[in-house]
Amino acid sequence: MKDVAARAGVGLKTVSRVVNGEPGVTPDTERRVQEAIDALGFRRNDSARVLRKGRTSSIGLVLEDLADPFYGPLSRAVEEVSRAHGSLLINGSSAEDPDREQELALALCARRVDGLVIIPAGDDHRYLEPEIRAGVATVFVDRPAGRIDADVVLSDSFGGARDGVAHLIAHGHRRIGFIGDMPRIHTAAERLRGYRAAMEDAGIPVEETWMSLGVTDPERVRRAAEEMLSGPAPVTAVFAGNNRVTVTVVRVIAEHARRVALVGFDDFELADLLQPGITVISQDPAGMGRTAAERLFQQLDGSLVVPERIELPTRLIARGSGELPPAD
């Protein structure tokens, strides 16, 4: 910038004005500065700008896995809102590891992102308190924050699971299995609670062997499903706690001779093309991302004061697999 000023024969401030399109420069001066910029291949260094201005015009997104299709529409929605506000998106995956979540979130804060959208892996977010106090806007999505008071945007996991299980009960099932994620994950716990509520509402006592919680990798889910589907009194229907579980259960059922009903939490592409189509409880990941990002920028505007908990409704989409009658 100094070189540009020297070459154009003007002061530093004038170059700054031209670069930022500020008014108050004669067309002639502007032309001279522009020529110097082009000749020298000058590119403004935003780091210096940030240092002076305070705002970085960037926000951070911490999610669980960049490659999980559930987070695709969510990330895109956050990106779109961010773009509309002139901000860039920095993101990374926690891989469901609380330490890695913290490391990432703090690294983003050290870069002075203006705000943070977090899909939390851990359940203690007090490490963010100094950052929030220092003015970093923060919104949690999909799961609530732990031990701090913060904005959070959730799906109605409890209600969705209850509706899905009630749907199976309405179609005649009584022995219904539940396969979900690790119980320390809020959504997994809520969906299990929904399952229990629906069973209790129908007066069906739940057997321990009908419930399986744990990591949702294919091997474990497959084992869990096969156990529930064997023995003297196998389940006649399964409620799958998320999209990854559903896909694995579909595979297991396809290999089975007996018909098994299935309702899965989360919609997924091609669910309607399988035979039968898969009945799901669908969430609105794009809506969650949009809502979260909008709240983030409202916090940044200063128009938001009290942290809120926003819960988006779920919707049951019947496609066949959830309407199968019990095999026996």
Residues that bind DNA (CB under 7 A): 1, 9-14, 16-17, 19-20, 23-26, 28-30, 42-45, 48-49, 51-53
- The rounded distance, in Å, linking the Cα atoms of 75 and 79 is 6
Which of its own copies, DNA, none sits in contact with 72, Cβ below 5 to 8 A by type?
Answer: its own copies
Residue 185 CB partners (closer than 8 Å, separation 6+) = 143
User: Any idea which residue has 């995956």 for tokens?
Assistant: 93
Which of DNA, its own copies, none does residue 325 bind (CB under 5 to 8 Å by kind)? none
Q: Amino acid identity of 204?
A: I
User: Which listed residue (11, 130, 172, 218) binds its own copies by CB under 8 A?
Assistant: 130
CA distances from 62 to 24, 26, 92, 292 (A): 42, 46, 5, 13
First to last CA, the chain: 80
Binding mask 59-98 for its own copies (x = CB under 8 A): ------xxxxx--xx-xx--x---x----xxxxxx-----
Q: Which is nearer to its own copies, 184 or 251 (CB)?
A: 251
Determine the Cα–Cα distance for residues 116 and 54; give it in Å rounded to an integer.
Answer: 16
Verify binding: residue 19, its own copies, rule CB under 8 A. Answer: no
| Per-residue mark of binding to its own copies, 169-208 (x: CB under 8 A) | ----------------------------------------
Residues 223-262 that bind its own copies (CB under 8 A): 247, 250-251, 254
Q: Strand 279-282 to strand 261-265: parallel, antiparallel, or no bridges (unpaired)?
A: parallel
Residue among 19 and 304 whose Cβ is closer to its own copies = 19
- Residues between 25 and 64 that touch its own copies (CB under 8 A): 41, 43-48, 50-51, 56, 58
Residue 12's binding partner out of DNA, its own copies, none, with CB under 5 to 8 Å set by partner kind:
DNA
Of 93 and 242, nearer to its own copies (C-beta) is 93
**What are the CA-CA distances from residue 97 to residues 89, 93, 100, 103 (Å)?**
21, 9, 5, 10
**Residue 135 binds which of DNA, its own copies, none (CB < 5-8 A, kind-dependent):** none
User: What is the C-alpha separation between 115 and 298, in angstroms, rounded?
Assistant: 11
CB contact at 8 A, 264 and 249: yes
In terms of Cα–Cα distance, which of 249, 238, 121 is closest to 191?
Answer: 238
Q: Which two tokens stand for residue 293?
A: 């990002």
How far, in Å, CA of 108 to CA of 173, rounded?
49
User: Given the complex with DNA, which of 28 and 255 has the nearer CB atom?
Assistant: 28
* Number of residues forming the site for its own copies (CB under 8 A): 48
CA angle 236, 188, 238 (to 5 degrees): 10
Binding residues for its own copies, rule: CB under 8 A, are 41, 43-48, 50-51, 56, 58, 65-69, 72-73, 75-76, 79, 83, 88-93, 107-112, 130-131, 133-134, 247, 250-251, 254, 268-270, 273-275
